[in-house]
Amino acid sequence: MEKNISFKLKIWRQRGPKEKGQFKVYEMKDIPTDTSFLEMLDILNEQLINAGEEPVVFDHDCREGICGMCSLYINGHPHGPATGATTCQLYMRRFKDGETITVEPWRSAGFPVIRDLMVDRRAYDKIMQAGGYVSINTGGVPDANAIPISKEKADLAMDAASCIGCGACVAACKNGSAMLFVSAKVSQLALLPQGQVEAARRAKAMLSKMDELGFGNCTNTRACEAECPKCISISNIARLNREFIAAKLSD
């Protein structure tokens, strides 16, 4: 049922990476509950622009939960209170009339704030560049089903591949660890025969890049798994541990 709600928005404002930020409170009036969270921020920004103020900077792109661009730490949860959904899939019907909604950027040394709610997530690209791919000499297109893969393995690989690299795992982790992301990116290839060739090198390269970029050590709190918009399982982390330890032992 659609209705209108009014609430306070407590948003982190920070002019630049080096500048000190602080919260600013904005009053939002009569917002339809069918508005998505990002549309609501669009409404806020329109009001701010009309009033001659600087709009709030936030990341967004596809607005259908597949690109991994949107972020936001809303009321103590990455991507807000909904489970298995990104911020762009979050609707205002999740919130109550008169509530104060706190919106913060991802907070992690690996993801420094660029401005307001936008953080620099290039660290993930660097981890991918370290080995999150398969080197292939492209020739003719191989026949479909030339390499048999069991349904179970294919499903697990697809589950791992559903990671959109949004960074919610790092934002949720009290250790700022990127293990869920790295483990999903290692698993999606490690489970398949095509990924076997470079498996050991990949696990070592991606993990050492993760460590080098200043992400923390996993302590198995499972906060990442609980907050992941794609419900990536920590069984991937166990697989990464296995792959990495096996690679190091065979060195």
Partner 1 sequence: MWLIDSSIGRKVVMSVTGAALILFLTFHMAMNCVALISGEAYNVICEFLGANWYALVGTAGLAVLMVLHFVFAFWLTIQNRKARGNVRYAVSERPKSVEWASQNMLVLGIIVFVGLLVHFANFWSKMQLQEIIHGTNFVAGQNGPTDGAFLIQYTFSQWYYVVVYTVWLAALWFHLSHGFWSMFQTVGWSGSKWQRRWQVIGNIYVTLVILGFLSVVYFYFFKSLC
User: Residue 54 or 211: which CB sits closer to partner 1?
Assistant: 211
Q: What residue ranges bind partner 1 (CB under 8 A)?
A: 10, 21, 23, 73, 75-77, 102, 104, 107-110, 112, 172, 174-177, 179, 207-208, 210-211, 214-223, 225-227, 233-235, 237-246, 248, 251
Taking the complex as a whole, the smallest distance from the CB of residue 1 to partner 1 amounts, in Å, to: 27
Taking the complex as a whole, the smallest distance from the CB of residue 121 to partner 1 amounts, in Å, to: 14
156 vs 72, 150, 188, CA distance in Å? 28, 10, 8
- Angle among Cα 17, 179, 246 to the nearest 5 degrees reads 140
Taking the complex as a whole, the smallest distance from the CB of residue 192 to partner 1 amounts, in Å, to: 17
User: Residue 61 or 76: which CB sits closer to partner 1?
Assistant: 76
Residue that has been written with the tokens 């660097």 in this structure? 126
User: Residue 40 or 74: which CB sits closer to partner 1?
Assistant: 74
Taking the complex as a whole, the smallest distance from the CB of residue 134 to partner 1 amounts, in Å, to: 22
Taking the complex as a whole, the smallest distance from the CB of residue 221 to partner 1 amounts, in Å, to: 4
Q: How far apart are CA 4 and CA 31, in angstroms?
A: 5
Which 3 state secondary structure label does DSSP give 1? coil
User: Residue 121 or 239: which CB sits closer to partner 1?
Assistant: 239
User: Residue 3 or 23: which CB sits closer to partner 1?
Assistant: 23
* Helix locations, 55-178, DSSP H: 122-129, 151-161, 168-172
Whether the CB-CB separation of 186 and 239 falls below 8 Å is answered with yes
Q: How far apart are CA 109 and CA 142, in angstroms?
A: 43
Taking the complex as a whole, the smallest distance from the CB of residue 108 to partner 1 amounts, in Å, to: 5
User: Residue 53 or 211: which CB sits closer to partner 1?
Assistant: 211
